[in-house]
Amino acid sequence: MRSAWLLSALLVPALLFSQSSALVQGRVVERTEDGQIRPVVGASIYWLGTRVGTVADTVGRFQLAFPDRGGRLIVSNVGYRADTLTISEPRVLRVTLVAEASEVEGVNVVGQRAPSFIEYRAATNTVVMTEKELFKAACCNLSESFETNPSVDVSFTDAVTGTRQIEMLGLAGTYSQITLENMPAVRGLASNVGLTYIPGSWIDNIQVSKGVGSVANGYESITGQINVEYRKPWNEAEQRVYLTMFGTDDQRFELNGNLRTSLGEHLSSLTMVNMDTRRVSMDRNGDRFLDAPIGTAAHVLQRLTLHDYDGLEAQVLVQYTSDEKRNGTMHGIDMDHLALGADPMQYRYRMKGHQLRITGKTGYVFADEGRSIGLQWSYADHRTSTTLQHREYAGRERTGYLNLLYDAEIEPGVHRLRGGVSLLVDDYDERVFGVDEARIERVPGAFLEYTFSSGEDLSIVAGLRGDRHNLFGSFVTPRLHVRYAPDINWTLRLSAGRGQRTANIYAENLALFASSRTPVLEGFASGLAYQREAGWNVGLSATRYVTVNGREGTIVIDLHRTTFDDQLVVNLDRDARTVVFQPLTGSSFSNSAQAEMNIQPWERLEVRTAYRYLDVRQTVDGRLRDRPYVAKHRAFVNLAYATQPDDDGSGRMAFDLTVSWFGSKRLPETSTSPLPYRRPSSSPSFFQVNGQVTRTLMANLDLYVGVENLFDFRQSDPIISATDPSNVYFDSSIIWGPVQGRMIYGGVRWRM
């Protein structure tokens, strides 16, 4: 009843806005070398002789108020020839920009958008990963989408569950706000599996921002924000049908189908279906445990979008996921409780998850210049159950979210205000190892954000939001972003602000219970299964635009410091037989420094290199120590080369190679364990090499083959006491490197 009432309340506001306005709107696109239409993200659109303008969004779409007498509209972007259009009446446009080209002594020089790029005019330090970037590697879901991004680390949490986690600035991905089209997505009880609930073939682009985000998106980002944009039904760059197939040598298979349909002049639809399965048990390292979980995941999405071209836009998205996984010893994986009790040498892991997500947006641009109002809403129902040998966990989280925004230009192109109110409700029901836990979190809030722009040189975004949490009380979230470009070759950015989140102690640390460790809660009220975490982040970045052999490149240096006022400490060092959860009673911080270079030294060859240093420490039992599993040093190289396609778009070959080096990591203390169950205090450094070759058979058909972990590097003996899971020192969670060996894969992408 409670869920039904909340869902009904969220659906009603979608009917609120309906007026008419005078607008020029449309999309900015380019025609690629293989004949496909692609959006030009971040293109500038403005009226000649005025300061009235806008920027194309992530699908190239724009809206601009129409002046009384019309005028000349300028459309431009770096690397493209500017286009000028004479507009005498409100209309819908499709502007096709042409990449800049010139003949220099018979050599044809062509400019084109890089697969990943920094949003030049954005005040935030944001990298946009386009579809072209995602195609460089086996991107089956969001957790596997960052192999070619040096700012985000991805690793397995343990050797049993197969759960992948991401890290930014040396801290767990839970400190990064992960949103789906700027609405909360991977959080709460879904934080440990939610990345796998976003199929890679559904993603149009990913925006990775370091540091705190906008106050309009909430208060939860501390180290950064990862925003995922799904494919859009109105995007003409999308073919009507998109099919993908993927398979690996360890018999994991994936099938995906997207169908885009026009339901009339103003209504469009997109249906996406994805299935991922692995059914064959394998134990290539001979430790009796499966190398990877087996199981099946199915994802279905339906979205509808309404454009009336008079300022009104509305969309609804419904997504459902069903996920089932199993792992353990080769003989124990299918055993029940009675059989496991009779044979303690066996082990089993089972997980079932179901998630329903319904989201919507309604927006209206007023007829008078520079004002708009929008409503974002979502409802999510996430259910999960996990069995780790004889330990059982079950949880359900129902989330409702409302965000009403009002945006107004005080002085066109100079001063802008954005404000609004929000409501976030989380209803938790958990059963943790036989004990029931339930709570409701209600967080109403309000925010105001001011933007100042001085041409291309200076942008300042200052935001403040206040929220009232029914469990933690009232709190204020200030945030500041500054962008300064002293000349066309340099861009400097500063970010600072506060973030806060709720840590779900058991749900976010389930991988630690793939062991014999006993959970201990210290400093909490009896039965408390959550903890407030709050911290500050300050960042500074410098981007230098360079030219190498006539081609634009970038060198980026960024520095970030994160400090925590409140934090959940996961103490793995006191005793190898326990995991102690306790509130922070000292200092905790992360210092991050990264240098990255993106250049094209020769035509069609893209080179990305990066080096990162991390100093991440936390007070544990009164001692300030390096945080475990964090590599202080990491180096990265990505090479991408593509041949010239034939005139019909076929015949193109693309080669991608990624080499990553990870320095030594501190490991949890095992020095008090008996000798056979001890591990070194730190891990060795190691390299990991991935490669892929793609062949375009025809304009819309790609065939690719690749390899991950080319040299088959694996962490030896990842499971302590693998021969006897009933041993008090059994532990599969001390993972510092790859637990799976070389993987060979192949796939097909076909647009029709």
CA distance from start to end of the chain = 44
What are the residues facing 535 on neighbouring strands? 499, 564
* Residue 108 pLDDT exceeds 50: no
Work out the number of other CB atoms within 10 angstroms of the CB of residue 507.
24
pLDDT of residue 60: 79
Q: What is the pLDDT of residues 680-706, one digit of tens each?
A: 999 999 999 999 999 999 888 999 999
Q: What is the pLDDT of residues 547-562, one digit of tens each?
A: 998 888 999 999 999 9
Q: Select from 360, 458, 370 the least CA-distant residue to 406.
A: 370
* Residue 534 pLDDT exceeds 70: yes
Q: Are 275 and 297 in contact (CB under 8 A)?
A: yes
pTM score, whole prediction:
0.87
Is the model more confident about 481 or about 525?
Answer: 481
pLDDT of residue 17: 40
Using the CB atoms, write b or e for 266-294: b if 16+ within 10 Å. Answer: ebbebebbbbbbbeebeeebebbbbbbbb
What is the average pLDDT score of the chain?
Answer: 89
Q: What is the pLDDT of residues 268-285, one digit of tens each?
A: 999 999 999 999 999 988
Q: Which residue carries 């971040």 as its tokens?
A: 42
- Whole-angstrom distance, CA of residue 706 vs CA of residue 256: 19
pLDDT band at residue 41 using 50, 70 and 90 as cut-offs? confident
Determine what percent of the chain is predicted with pLDDT higher than 70. 93
Q: What is the pLDDT of residues 115-173, one digit of tens each?
A: 888 877 789 989 999 988 999 988 889 999 999 999 999 887 888 998 888 999 999 99
Alpha-carbon distance values, 733 to 163, 349, 630, 716 (Å): 11, 14, 15, 13
Q: Which residue carries 């540091």 as its tokens?
A: 211
pLDDT of residue 5: 41
Alpha-carbon distance values, 618 to 224, 589, 591 (Å): 19, 6, 12
Q: Select from 587, 588, 566, 570 the least CA-distant residue to 579.
A: 570
For 730-738, what is the mean pLDDT?
A: 95
pLDDT band at residue 412 using 50, 70 and 90 as cut-offs? confident
For 77-96, what is the mean pLDDT?
A: 79
Distance of CA 54 to the CA centre of its chain: 26
* Residue 11 pLDDT exceeds 60: no
CA count, 13 A, side-chain hemisphere, 704:
26
* Residue 103 pLDDT exceeds 50: no
Burial of 348 (0-12, 13-18, 19+ CB in 10 A): buried
Q: Which residue carries 């060979």 as its tokens?
A: 744
pLDDT band at residue 4 using 50, 70 and 90 as cut-offs? very low
For 387-396, what is the mean pLDDT?
A: 95
For 400-423, what is the mean pLDDT?
A: 93
